[in-house]
């Protein structure tokens, strides 16, 4: 089923997969492990990501518009309500599915590192800019990097061994992103990937995965969940080191007053 109909496999319970194959759930779990996954859950997520990867921007938009129509969104008010409801559901799902250990490792890494490097392409780079701004306001030295093709060499070249690296790839880990992850993992101690896609197999043992919920069935974009993870990371870093955050905010406020007086 997985190869023949990956979407159906990704959205079918392990019990149903076992029933259709005429085997036990334990057999399905062992098969997933033989294929290199930790279990059926990870295998289903991988096939869901494979389906997502094959859908272009036009297809994603068409899917969201179809979902809006199915929700009865026929005007501005219903569109607003539908999108906000979908965003709320997405964030609730995120709070239930995000691995607490992975989140804690990423937050602790940011808090301990002399500098945090945030990488993103496209939408990811825009979120990265916001994330870095909030980290700096929390007293964390942070910088945005981006790169594709040969410019990835510059992005990796700028890394220092004691950096913490956060990669923002909300929907898909494209080949350029995968290349950066692999390069960063060979230099720094922490690489955390924020994405609903799988961490590239070559980097799974060296990168922390902050997995975002699948957004293929809703109208809220994957960016909503990525923003949420960024805000949560900033909050945890500030909670752990409030002295550093208060000092940074005090300096920022002084500057605001100085420039506002002009």
The DSSP result for 76-127, as a single string, is HHHHHHHHHHHHHHHHHHHHHHS-HHHHHHHHHHHHHSS-EEEEE-THHHHH
Mean pLDDT of 120-141: 96
Percentage of residues of the chain with pLDDT beyond 70: 82
pLDDT at position 167 over 80: yes
Nearest of 183, 190, 195, 182 to residue 164 by alpha carbon: 190
Written as six digits, the tokens of 26 are 């334990």
pLDDT at position 176 over 70: yes
What pLDDT, in 10s, does the model give residues 197-219?
A: 999 988 988 999 999 998 876 78
pLDDT at position 9 over 80: no
What is the distance of C-alpha 130 from the center of its chain? 15
Other Cβ atoms less than 10 A from the Cβ of 46: the count is 20
| Distance (Å, whole) CA 169 – CA 197 | 8
Q: What pLDDT was estimated at residue 2? A: 54
Q: Are 166 and 118 in contact (CB under 8 A)?
A: yes
DSSP character for 201?
G
pLDDT at position 53 over 70: no
Mean pLDDT of 141-155: 94
Q: What pLDDT was estimated at residue 260? A: 86
Residue 27's contacts (CB-CB under 8 Å, 6 or more residues apart) are: 18, 21
| Distance (Å, whole) CA 258 – CA 262 | 7
pTM value is 0.76
Half-sphere exposure of residue 6, counting CA atoms within 13 Å on the CB side? 13
pLDDT at position 117 over 60: yes
DSSP character for 216?
T
Q: Where are the alpha helices (DSSP H) in the chain?
A: 6-10, 14-21, 25-34, 40-53, 57-70, 76-97, 100-112, 123-137, 152-157, 175-185, 222-240, 242-260
Q: How confident is the model at residue 166 (pLDDT cuts 50, 70, 90)?
A: very high
Mean pLDDT of 74-98: 88
**What does R_g of the chain's alpha carbons equal in angstroms?**
20
Q: What pLDDT was estimated at residue 54? A: 52
pLDDT at position 186 over 90: yes
Written as six digits, the tokens of 149 are 């093709």
What pLDDT, in 10s, does the model give residues 213-260?
A: 988 767 888 999 999 999 999 999 999 999 999 999 999 999 999 998
| Distance (Å, whole) CA 139 – CA 120 | 21
């Amino acid at each position: 089923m997985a190869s023949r109909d990956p979407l159906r496999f990704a959205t079918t319970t392990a019990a149903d997969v076992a029933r259709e194959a005429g085997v036990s759930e334990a057999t399905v779990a062992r098969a997933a492990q033989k294929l290199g996954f930790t279990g059926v859950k990870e295998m289903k997520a991988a096939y869901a990501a494979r389906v997502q990867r094959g859908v272009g921007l036009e297809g994603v938009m068409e899917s969201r518009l179809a979902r809006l129509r199915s929700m009865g969104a026929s005007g501005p008010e219903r569109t607003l309500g539908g999108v906000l409801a979908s965003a709320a559901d997405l964030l609730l799902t995120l709070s239930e599915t995000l691995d607490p250990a992975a989140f804690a490792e990423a937050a602790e890494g940011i808090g301990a590192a002399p500098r945090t490097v945030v990488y993103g392409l496209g939408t990811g780079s825009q979120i990265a800019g916001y994330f870095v701004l909030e980290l700096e306001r929390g007293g964390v030295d942070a910088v945005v990097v981006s790169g594709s093709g040969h410019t990835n060499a510059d992005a990796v070249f700028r890394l220092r061994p004691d950096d913490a690296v956060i990669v923002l790839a909300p929907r898909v880990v494209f080949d350029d992103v995968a290349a950066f992850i692999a390069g960063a993992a060979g230099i720094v101690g922490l690489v955390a990937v924020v994405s609903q896609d799988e961490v590239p197999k070559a980097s799974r043992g060296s990168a922390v995965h902050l997995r975002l919920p699948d957004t293929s069935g809703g109208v809220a974009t994957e960016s909503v969940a990525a923003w949420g993870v960024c805000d949560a990371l900033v909050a945890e870093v500030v909670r752990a080191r409030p002295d550093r955050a208060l000092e940074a905010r005090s300096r920022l406020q002084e500057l605001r007053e100085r420039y506002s007086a002009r």
